[in-house]
Amino acid sequence: MTKLDELGGRIDAREARIGVIGLGYVGLPLALEFAKAGFRVTGFDLDGEKVKTIAEGGSYIEDVPAAEVAAETGAGRLSATTDFGALAEQDVINVCVPTPLTKTKDPDVSFIMSAVEDIRKRLRPGQLLILGSTTYPGTTHDLFVPLLEETGLTLGTDFAVAYSPERIDPANKQFKVRQVPKVVGGETPLCTDLAAKVYGTIFDTVVPVSSSQSAEMVKLLENTFRAINIGLANEVALMCGKLGLDVWEVIDAAASKPYGFMKFTPGPGLGGHCIPVDPTYLSWKMKSLNFQARFIELATEINGHMPEHVATTVGDLLNEDRVAVNGARVLMIGVAYKADVSDIRESPALDVIRLLDAKGAQVSFHDPHVTELEIEGWSGKNVELSDENLSSADIVVILTEHSGIDWDRLVRLSHRVYDTRNATRAVKAHTEKIAKL
């Protein structure tokens, strides 16, 4: 019996040690689920503040209750460290590190490479290594595996490697972590079986695929599908604007069809950790194969233009009120990329602020989840949604539909409202103040 065969038994008995590299919005929930399933889990992160927070039984992720972290740390099942030497003790290591884009829109796999180097230094027989960071097809096979094989250990005999994309949707109250099916693809059939076995302990459904490349492509397809359809919704919004139609009415009516239509809505642009980034990973990969991903490139162009459209429309609305953009008081409602989260990564609000600031507007923002914001040449702190702040603004621009905001009050007190999210759809009075995307 090989060490990998023994690992399968240790997983079944909940005796396998689980490691998670990267304790962000993906890694911490995953580590917590393994701990709740009875495993001893160690989280690894370079951020000492995150490690300290976990040790104190706290949470810095909005979807992760501090009480659950405290319960698992108190029981000795969950711990965190900045000491990557402890990777040698782990039987299963999940890599959940960021994969952003460079300034030139190329994939940045430096965090993955750093993690695999940390693993390579401590690699031993009997370990299962699972990459979960979103990346282009071939990353696991072409970058991850060769470095590990430099140790002299044999893939599929001494150690196992698989890829399993994360599918976490921040602030989603309907689908908890374990309810979302987990896709896994290994470098060998045994690798797939071991990854499916370990994830089967914390996910209700596991979906094995034939290879790590297939699993990588699954993730990119999911978010490319969303990016392209959001691009279509945004273009329909622009068309409806030209035609003098209400795009929200059109989309809601189309969504009444019980088959053949899936509802996507327009907005001020794409934001977050996945949708603006993942299609670019796929497009980049295909360019290396002399293939032009035309749908992706067109959707990227349309979605990328939306912040400029919003800023231009703000100027047009101010002009209708005989107010110059230069010096105008513009209050942004929401700077996070989606409702009820604090994440500002790739948020279109940042581009809208930057564009209006460049035109001389006096921009402020209210966001219940973001305390302060700093971008190129501009910084600000969250302002209260007071009567004075609303009534003194020349225009209020809704960029994120956070819950808990009284939209009726906002419209009543504001001079002019530009709603890019249809947040004011239920407002009955003072609708003459509202302009929509």
Catalytic residues: 274
DSSP characters for 255-277? TTSSSS-------S---SSSTTT
> At CA 231, angle to CA 227 and CA 234, rounded to 5?
140
Q: With contact defined as beta carbons under 8 Å apart, do 279 and 299 qualify?
A: yes
Burial of residue 430, with CB atoms counted within 10 A of its CB: 0-12 exposed, 13-18 middle, 19 or more buried: middle
Pull the structure tokens for residue 121.
């230094």
CA pseudo-torsion sign 224, 226, 232, 237: negative
Within 8 A by CB and 6+ apart from 314, the residues are: 325, 330, 352, 356, 361, 395, 397, 418
Q: Provide the residue type at 334 as one letter.
A: G
Closest CA to 223 of 266, 283, 292, 172: 283
CA distance 81 to 46: 8
Residue 189's H or E segment, with its range, is helix 189-199
Measure the CA–CA gap between 398 and 366, rounded to whole angstroms. Answer: 10
Say how far apart CA 30 and CA 202 lie, in whole Å.
Answer: 9
Which residue(s) pair with 43 in the sheet? 20, 80
**Torsion angle (degrees, nearest 10) of CA 61, 62, 67, 72:** -30
Give the whole-angstrom CA distance, residue 322 versus residue 327.
12
Strand 206-209 versus strand 378-381 pairing type: unpaired
Query: Closest by alpha carbon to 148, among 135, 129, 171?
Result: 129
Task: Give CA–CA dist 75/69, Å, rounded.
Answer: 10
User: Angle 212-243/294-320 helices, nearest 10 degrees?
Assistant: 30
CB neighbour list of residue 85: distance below 8 Å, 6 or more residues apart: 122
